[in-house]
């Protein structure tokens, strides 16, 4: 299966890249999940931005109070989740088909790495298209992601031939996304 996926995506590059702001938002996220996001942008048919990675308890509490989340036990608290927003024409778009395409890229990148990533869009209740997380079963402890032993991310980045470029700048991404309702768990 891994060989089939590698053949499918080998050498493919979408032309998209994560902006410095998105890379900053991956800070505190589990290194393996961050690597998957960095690979997925290269495979994606839709450009995307990182809306949010690791959260503080205060931020999570606020989202629960606003109805944007329904739990204080979010994977964001430990850095095991990210929210990605479809970036179209210099703004985040919420059209569901865009998130199905982002999920496709995330699943390809995860399969290349041999890691399972759950998509909030597959949830039966409180469907959350922007949300991606490492499964509780594989990563059971709620703790800071950067304190964990992480599978060979550096080696995997070399296999993917990925280069993160700090110069990547998107027109208009400086717009403040903090005030947008990111409808997240």
pLDDT tens per residue across span 26-37: 999 999 999 999
Asked whether residue 89 is assigned to any structural domain, the reply reads yes
Q: What is the CATH number of the domain that holds 59?
A: 3.30.1380.10
Q: Rounded CA gap, 44 and 24, in Å? A: 20
Q: Which of 6-10, 40-44, 92-96, 158-162 has the lowest mean pLDDT?
A: 158-162
SS3 at position 48: strand
Q: Distance between CA 32 and CA 38 in Å, rounded?
A: 10
Whether 183 maps to a domain, the answer reads no
**Per-residue pLDDT tens digits for 124-164:** 988 999 999 999 999 886 544 444 444 333 433 433 443 33
Closest by alpha carbon to 139, among 80, 81, 60? 80
Residue 154 structural domain: 2-178
pLDDT at residue 12 is higher than 70: no
Q: What is the pLDDT of residue 10?
A: 53
Has residue 116 got a pLDDT over 90? yes
């Amino acid at each position: 299966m891994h060989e089939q996926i590698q053949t499918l995506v080998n050498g493919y590059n979408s032309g998209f890249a994560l902006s410095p702001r998105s890379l900053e938002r991956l800070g505190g996220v589990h290194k393996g999940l961050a690597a998957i996001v960095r690979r997925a942008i290269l495979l994606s048919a839709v450009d995307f931005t990182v809306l949010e990675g690791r959260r503080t308890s205060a931020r999570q509490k606020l989202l629960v109070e606003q109805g944007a989340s329904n739990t204080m036990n979010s994977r964001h608290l430990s850095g095991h989740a990210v929210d990605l927003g479809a970036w179209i024409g210099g703004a985040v778009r919420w059209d569901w088909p865009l998130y199905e395409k982002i999920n496709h890229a995330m699943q390809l990148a995860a399969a290349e790495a041999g890691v399972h990533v759950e998509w909030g869009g597959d949830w039966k209740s409180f469907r959350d298209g922007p949300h991606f997380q490492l499964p509780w079963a594989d990563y059971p402890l709620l703790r800071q992601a950067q304190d964990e032993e992480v599978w060979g991310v550096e080696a995997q980045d070399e296999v993917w031939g990925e280069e993160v470029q700090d110069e990547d700048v998107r027109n208009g991404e400086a717009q403040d996304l903090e005030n947008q309702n990111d409808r997240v768990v």
